[in-house]
């Protein structure tokens, strides 16, 4: 358990101290956020705010994980490294998108096909890797079965599993990206979900099927659940530190660098902890905001009418006159409730198994 505390504390300090350093570097080079002209007018004042802040918490997470392993004398695990790879790979795709926006001085970065191709490559490598690196019991980081609070049903097979994993990665990374529209909104919501995965990792470790003391009908056949909790703790600490600077009025934005990385990390934790469908509840705010975009686009194409004043959902409430801080706090409350319900279902699944 020391690993979890070390990872969270180190990541928090590194992110808290490192983010202002990154702000000065980005400001010196003029790497400021471009703002869409068709967005809320209140956002025009944010033009030029340093972006690509995701670099800060990505590096803080990676360094915290590595230092934690050195401090406790424990080797990295395949599950932990796979989630970190997915986070970093998706972050790199986002970095390229952000960098092009800055260099070309436009609000759109990578072309849609190029961005999708980058996400697919990273997702495929993760999906293939997650079915390898079996432990002594033959358990791999991911399972080809679908999962909610644990695995269920028939095996999908490697091909269908890979498609399912890629869908999850794309959906969650783009969901966090859509949520990242107000100061601190996506960062604070992500902290809550990462906190939930720290609990899930600890619980699965305590009830693992690999232990004679806990093996039984309601044990968890998950590889390296404690290390997944360490990764979740590092991400939680890093996002907490970043939130200090990202909260309203934001001194820095995470950009696509951060939002794609966070979404990838969430999907990776869900897949490797065998709680894939539970993520839709734990990350309910991201799902809700993504659905608002789907509904808006679908309604406009079919009827020519818009359901919301603007999508994603947070901008609808901005145009209704809600203040940015009010929206963020209320959406955080919604996200907190989603996490509470998700963890309740996770525990209920263990009790009733």
Q: CB–CB of 62/238 below 8 Å?
A: no
In this prediction, residue 218 carries a pLDDT of 74
Q: How far apart are CA 135 and CA 305, in angstroms?
A: 54
Give the model's pLDDT for residue 170.
96
Nearest CA among 35, 284, 63 for reference residue 176: 284
Residue 320: per-residue pLDDT:
93
What pLDDT, on a 0 to 100 scale, did the predictor assign at position 28? 87
pLDDT at 210 (0 to 100): 67
Residues 6+ apart with CB under 8 A from 9: 237
Q: Which helix H or strand E contains 221, and what residues bound it?
A: none
Question: For residue range 140-181, what is the model confidence (pLDDT) as tens digits?
Answer: 999 999 999 999 888 899 999 999 999 999 999 999 999 998
Residues of the chain with pLDDT under 50: 44, 212-213
- The closest of 16, 121, 13, 110 to 64, measured between CA atoms, is 13
CB contact burial 106-127 (16+ within 10 A = b; e otherwise): eeebbeeeebeebbeebbeebb
CB 54 within 8 A of CB 187: no
Angle at 159 (CA atoms; ends 154, 161), nearest 5 degrees: 50
- For the residues of 267-304, what is the DSSP string, one character each? HHHHHHTT-TTTHHHHTHHHHHHHHHHHHHHHHHHHHS
pLDDT for residue 104: 74
pTM of the complete model beyond 0.75: yes
pLDDT, position 213: 47
Q: How many CB atoms lie within 10 A of CB 61?
A: 32
Residues in a beta bridge with 147: 151
pLDDT of residue 232: 98
CA distance 176 to 262: 7
């Amino acid at each position: 358990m020391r690993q979890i505390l070390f990872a969270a504390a180190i990541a928090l300090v590194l992110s808290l101290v490192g983010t202002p350093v990154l702000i000065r570097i980005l400001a010196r080079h003029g790497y400021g956020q471009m703002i869409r002209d068709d967005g809320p007018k209140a956002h025009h004042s944010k033009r030029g705010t340093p972006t690509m802040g995701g670099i800060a918490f990505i590096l803080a997470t990676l360094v915290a994980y590595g230092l934690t392993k050195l401090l406790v004398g424990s080797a990295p695990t395949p599950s932990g490294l796979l989630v970190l790879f997915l986070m970093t790979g998706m972050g790199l795709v986002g970095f390229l998108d952000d960098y092009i926006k800055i260099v070309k001085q436009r609000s759109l970065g990578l072309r849609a096909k190029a961005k999708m191709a980058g996400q697919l490559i990273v997702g495929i490598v993760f999906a293939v890797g997650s079915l390898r690196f079996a432990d002594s019991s033959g358990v791999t980081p991911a399972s080809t079965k679908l999962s909610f609070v644990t695995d269920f049903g028939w095996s999908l097979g490697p091909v269908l599993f890979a498609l399912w994993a890629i869908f999850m990665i794309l959906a969650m990374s783009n969901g966090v990206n859509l949520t990242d529209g107000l100061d601190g909104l996506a960062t604070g919501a992500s902290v809550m979900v990462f906190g939930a995965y720290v609990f899930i990792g600890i619980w699965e470790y305590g009830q693992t099927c690999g232990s004679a003391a806990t093996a039984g009908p309601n044990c968890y056949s998950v590889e390296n659940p404690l290390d997944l909790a360490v990764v979740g703790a590092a991400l939680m600490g890093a996002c907490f530190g970043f939130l200090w600077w990202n909260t309203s009025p934001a001194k820095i934005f995470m950009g696509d660098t951060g939002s794609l990385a966070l979404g990838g990390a969430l999907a990776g934790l869900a897949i490797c902890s065998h709680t894939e469908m539970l993520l839709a509840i734990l990350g309910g705010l991201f799902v809700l905001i993504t659905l608002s975009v789907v509904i808006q686009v679908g309604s406009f194409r079919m009827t020519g009418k818009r359901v919301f004043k603007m999508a994603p959902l947070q901008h609808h409430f901005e145009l209704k006159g809600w203040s940015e801080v009010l929206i963020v706090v209320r959406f955080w409350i919604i996200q907190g409730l989603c996490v509470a319900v998700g963890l309740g279902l996770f525990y209920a699944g263990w009790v009733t198994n």
